[in-house]
């Protein structure tokens, strides 16, 4: 069923999609209820993603499949749906409105069927990015997040989930060091980021030292910071040595974080980068021989791209490109 991944739907012609959807419908119709859940974990993301097609034949086939799915799972709440995969499709920056509209319906359905762990992990993600999502979906997302809080966090929040409340790439301790006791408002945060970038620029530091900062700025959520970061990358850090081991280790730490490290205090565990920054970092790793030989960070990065809970179709593609790069440039002993 690898052919049904959401990342493949954007690379197939409408005729190929229609043919594949037709095969999936047949497979769905012949599938026993006992085997339906694993089939839906692959089928549903691909099918919903196919709604981005402009072909009426493809869309009609999608609606036929979804109608069949609805009838099969409506009265079987024990059949789980691929919650994380649907959320990844929904939250992609270039997701079509029709794809998002159907995704949110199945996300709501999947949330009721998900296990506690999966709901805990996703709740913080739902809230952290809600302001960037379609306005008409805010009520649904906030309702889902509130429901999870009541079900999963009425007696407290565990360290792993608490870490998700930190900005990507930071730990709880680092966040408190920056913000103090009160969260910073968006306009204040913007001026501070720009001020930091201007001061760092004036210090004329080595490209390898400033490179991680400028990379992070270039994919920031605030447009003025993005422009400044891109400008400084070209003007001040273009000559950075991408085979410098200290630089690559810093970039891998930014990508992977330390959230899963047992030897690090919970408040000091760094959360992994967000998908946009991860994509930027992997494109850099694909130009570094040192990155191809920085095990185990190299493998952690590839695994995160392809199987990570917040991965996207773009990250999966970059993960495969990095895998090829590693095979070409890994040193054998």
Q: Is the pLDDT of residue 7 over 50?
A: no
The reported pLDDT for the residue numbered 140 is: 84
Structure tokens at 67: 């109608």
Task: Give dist(CA 105, CA 287) in Å, integer.
Answer: 40
Q: What b/e readout covers 100-132, taking b as 16+ CB neighbours within 10 angstroms?
A: bbbbbebbbbbbebbeeebbbbbbbbbbbeeee
Q: Is the pLDDT of residue 302 over 80?
A: yes
Q: Is the pLDDT of residue 161 over 70?
A: no
Structure tokens at 36: 């339906």
Task: Give dist(CA 122, CA 154) in Å, integer.
Answer: 16
Structure tokens at 269: 């565990």
Contact 50, 69 (CB under 8 A): no
The pLDDT-based confidence of 101 (bands split at 50, 70, 90) is: very high
CA distances from 174 to 163, 177, 221 (A): 11, 5, 19
The pLDDT-based confidence of 204 (bands split at 50, 70, 90) is: confident
Task: Give dist(CA 222, CA 245) in Å, integer.
Answer: 30
C-alpha 222, offset from chain centre: 18
Task: Give dist(CA 130, CA 1) in Å, integer.
Answer: 32
Query: 283 Cβ partners below 8 Å, 6+ apart?
Result: 318
Average pLDDT score over the chain? 84
Would the pTM of this model clear 0.85, i.e. be above it? no
Lowest-confidence range among 3-17, 102-116, 121-135, 165-179? 3-17
Lowest-confidence range among 24-38, 100-114, 168-182? 168-182
Helices (H) and strands (E) in the chain, counts: 18, 0
The reported pLDDT for the residue numbered 119 is: 79
């Amino acid at each position: 069923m690898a052919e049904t991944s959401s990342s493949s739907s954007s690379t197939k012609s409408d005729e190929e999609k229609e043919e594949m959807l037709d095969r999936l419908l047949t497979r769905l119709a012949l599938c026993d209820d006992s085997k339906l859940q694993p089939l839906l974990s692959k089928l549903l993301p691909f099918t919903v993603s196919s709604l981005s097609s402009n072909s009426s034949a493809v869309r009609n086939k999608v609606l036929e499949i979804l109608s069949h799915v609805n009838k099969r799972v409506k009265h079987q709440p024990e059949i789980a749906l691929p919650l994380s995969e649907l959320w990844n499709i929904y939250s992609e920056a270039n997701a079509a409105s029709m794809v998002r509209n159907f995704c949110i319906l199945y996300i709501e359905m999947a949330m009721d069927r998900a296990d506690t762990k999966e709901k805990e992990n996703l709740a913080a993600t739902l809230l952290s990015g809600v302001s960037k999502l379609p306005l008409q979906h805010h009520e649904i997302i906030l309702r889902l997040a509130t429901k999870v809080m009541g079900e999963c966090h009425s007696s407290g929040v565990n360290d792993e989930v608490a870490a998700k409340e930190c900005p990507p790439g930071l730990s709880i301790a680092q966040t408190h060091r920056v913000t103090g006791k009160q969260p910073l408002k968006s306009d204040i945060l913007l001026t501070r980021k720009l001020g930091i970038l201007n001061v760092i620029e004036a210090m004329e530091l080595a490209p390898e030292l400033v490179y991680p900062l400028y990379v992070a700025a270039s994919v920031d959520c605030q447009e003025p910071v993005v422009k400044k970061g891109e400008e400084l990358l070209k003007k001040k850090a273009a000559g950075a040595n991408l085979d410098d081991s200290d630089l690559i280790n810093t970039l891998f730490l930014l990508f992977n974080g330390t959230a899963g490290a047992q030897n690090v205090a919970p408040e000091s565990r760094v959360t992994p980068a967000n998908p946009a920054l991860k994509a930027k970092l992997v494109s850099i790793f694909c130009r570094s021989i040192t990155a191809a030989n920085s095990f185990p960070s190299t493998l952690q990065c590839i695994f995160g791209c392809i199987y990570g809970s917040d991965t996207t179709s773009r990250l999966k593609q970059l993960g495969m490109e990095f895998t090829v790069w590693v095979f070409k440039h890994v040193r054998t002993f």
